[in-house]
């Protein structure tokens, strides 16, 4: 994949060097390039981390190709839990640590987000590099360093390492279950609100902002919206575009070494729901599916906020309040420019992403998350500010969220 000129510009502006970014091959048949790459790196023994589905989709074939090239390959198939799911938790991390042979030179993550997070963590701890082989265009985290893990039943993101290379084969990606592709699309649509929240945090809380990074993320978002039809069909063209957008968003996070452009209030809601599901031992939902739904809720909330806010009556007098008043015109303008949540819901539906009812997230949980999710991260977002100045609980109903009741 050719890196866009904006990505090159961004690396110029940051300490990270171009040769520290993963090598990326995104095309049809890129799986076949892996043995050659491994040989050039002088790796002899490779461990593939899979689950039952991804072993069938790509892992078994990749192992054969590596062995055919005269190298050694071992598969570690992650064991699923009683929900039939693999989680990035102690059990999976320990399985990889225990089963990785001592003479292994590199790991390959063959799968979607969770398998990448497990591999990324173990790669860092075992001090051997890892290669990314996504089997679905489902998240934007393939190239990032952050590994969201479930430790002692709680979700926490640990900074680990990024892959040395990504081999994304569009033939494999386009055969992934539609729900995974739709989740990738949902994760991209989340940028509508994550970008706005980044802007708000810059204007109100003086957090660092980078216009080039924002522009790259906007470009990715626009491309995906324009190609929603192709993505919905899972055509190779649509998948290529979606994957390119997901990879670029991940690269931005990697270069800036923080996730602000790609994660705002919508991700906080999604994390809150995830933690609630964990607490109740319920099956996990796809990250991007939650983000898509949460983005629509956040848009509704922000639009309502901008209509009802009374700048003269804000309950606290401090720098945040001063900054909010000073920059409100710009913030309001950006909120006005957000698409209508209803349009976004239809677009998500078009690619097969679930609605809030489809996710089976209760109104009560959404309401609780609207009031509490801002506490999860020490970040200034619209959601944080609404909570900061609210006089009553934020209420929520599936049909129309209201700020206060
Ligand atoms: Zn995300």
Over the stretch 61-113, which tens digit does the pLDDT of each residue have?
999 999 999 999 999 999 999 999 999 999 999 999 999 999 999 999 999 99
In the reported structure, the alpha carbon of residue 263 is separated from the centroid of ligand 1 by a whole-number distance in angstroms of 6
In the reported structure, the alpha carbon of residue 316 is separated from the centroid of ligand 1 by a whole-number distance in angstroms of 32
In the reported structure, the alpha carbon of residue 264 is separated from the centroid of ligand 1 by a whole-number distance in angstroms of 9
The span from the CA of 405 to the CA of 397, in Å, is: 11
> What pTM was computed for the model?
0.94
The span from the CA of 62 to the CA of 110, in Å, is: 9
Q: Which tokens sit at 358?
A: 């489809």
Task: Please return the burial class of 33, using the count of CB atoms within 10 Å of its CB with bins 0-12, 13-18 and 19+.
Answer: middle
In the reported structure, the alpha carbon of residue 39 is separated from the centroid of ligand 1 by a whole-number distance in angstroms of 33
Q: Give the pLDDT confidence score for residue 400 in this predicted structure.
A: 64
In the reported structure, the alpha carbon of residue 284 is separated from the centroid of ligand 1 by a whole-number distance in angstroms of 15
- Element (H or E) spanning 123, and its range? helix 113-126
Q: Give the pLDDT confidence score for residue 403 in this predicted structure.
A: 56
Q: What is the pLDDT of residues 228-261, one digit of tens each?
A: 999 999 999 999 999 999 999 999 999 998 888 9
In the reported structure, the alpha carbon of residue 291 is separated from the centroid of ligand 1 by a whole-number distance in angstroms of 7
Q: What is the pLDDT of residues 100-140, one digit of tens each?
A: 999 999 999 999 999 999 999 999 999 999 999 999 999 99
Collect contacts of 2-6 with beta carbons under 8 A, ≥24 apart.
3/251, 4/216, 4/219, 4/248, 6/212, 6/215, 6/216, 6/219
- Cβ neighbours around 17 below 10 Å, total: 9
**Greatest alpha-carbon span in the chain:** 73
In the reported structure, the alpha carbon of residue 144 is separated from the centroid of ligand 1 by a whole-number distance in angstroms of 11
Q: Which tokens sit at 120?
A: 């990324």
Q: Give the pLDDT confidence score for residue 405 in this predicted structure.
A: 46
In the reported structure, the alpha carbon of residue 267 is separated from the centroid of ligand 1 by a whole-number distance in angstroms of 7
In the reported structure, the alpha carbon of residue 249 is separated from the centroid of ligand 1 by a whole-number distance in angstroms of 10
């Amino acid at each position: 994949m050719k890196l866009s000129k904006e990505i090159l510009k961004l690396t110029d502006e940051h300490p990270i060097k171009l040769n520290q970014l993963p090598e990326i091959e995104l095309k049809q048949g890129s799986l076949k390039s892996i043995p050659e790459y491994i040989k050039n790196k002088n790796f002899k023994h490779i461990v593939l981390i899979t689950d039952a589905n991804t072993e069938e989709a790509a892992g078994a074939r990749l192992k054969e190709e590596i062995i055919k090239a005269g190298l050694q390959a071992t598969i570690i198939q992650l064991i699923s839990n009683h929900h039939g799911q693999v989680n990035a938790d102690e059990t999976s991390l320990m399985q990889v640590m225990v089963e990785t042979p001592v003479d292994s030179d590199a790991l390959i993550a063959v799968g979607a987000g969770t398998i990448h997070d497990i591999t990324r963590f173990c790669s860092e701890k075992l001090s051997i590099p890892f290669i990314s082989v996504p089997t679905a265009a489902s998240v934007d985290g393939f190239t990032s360093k952050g590994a969201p893990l479930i430790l002692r039943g709680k979700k926490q993101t640990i900074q680990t390492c990024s892959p040395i290379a990504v081999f994304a084969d569009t033939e494999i990606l386009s055969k992934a279950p539609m729900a995974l592709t739709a989740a990738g699309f949902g994760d991209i649509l989340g940028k509508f609100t994550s970008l706005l929240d980044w802007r708000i945090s810059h204007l109100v809380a003086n957090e660092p902002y980078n216009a080039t990074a924002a522009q790259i993320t906007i470009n990715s978002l626009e491309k995906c919206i324009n190609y929603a039809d192709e993505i919905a069909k899972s055509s190779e063209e649509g998948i290529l575009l979606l994957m390119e957008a997901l990879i670029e968003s991940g690269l931005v996070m990697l270069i800036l070494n923080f996730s602000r452009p790609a994660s705002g209030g919508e991700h906080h809601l999604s994390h809150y729901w995830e933690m609630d599901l964990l607490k109740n031992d319920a099956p996990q939902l796809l990250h991007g599916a939650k983000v898509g739904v949460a983005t629509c809720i956040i848009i509704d909330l922000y639009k309502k906020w901008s209509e009802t806010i009374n700048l003269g009556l804000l309950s606290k007098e401090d720098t945040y309040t001063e900054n909010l008043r000073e920059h409100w015109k710009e913030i309001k303008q950006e909120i006005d420019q957000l698409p209508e949540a209803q349009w976004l819901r239809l677009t998500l539906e078009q690619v097969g992403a679930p609605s809030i009812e489809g996710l089976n997230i209760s109104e009560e949980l959404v309401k609780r998350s609207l009031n509490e999710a801002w506490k999860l991260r020490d970040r200034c977002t619209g959601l944080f500010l609404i909570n900061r100045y609210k006089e009553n609980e934020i209420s929520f109903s599936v049909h129309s969220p209201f700020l206060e009741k």
